[in-house]
Structure 1
Amino acid sequence: MTHELFYLSRDRILMTHELFYLSRDRILMTHEVFYLSRDRILMTHE
């Protein structure tokens, strides 16, 4: 029982880490989109 609980909690911690990385990647992706659109605006201005 205690071993199962340990593994369950460990998995939950791993899952939250994955969620953290996923959200961090999403933030990075939106930054890329921001830079892409900014570059497009700069290109049209030239």
Structure 2
Amino acid sequence: DVIGDWLTEINLTSPTGIQELERFDGINVAETIWRAIEARRAAQ
């Protein structure tokens, strides 16, 4: 969850379809999200 510019929560028990995307399409959404978070953090 994001409030304003702050990441307030990462929901690990119900990751809104991330597991299904990886299982059926081979898309690693979690990696994409973490890379975006790390890139944004590094740019600050």
Q: TM-score, structure 2 length as denominator? A: 0.41
Greater gyration radius:
1
Task: Tell me the TM-score normalized by structure 1.
Answer: 0.39
Q: Which has the higher contact order (CA 8 A, sep 6+)?
A: 2
Higher helix share: 1
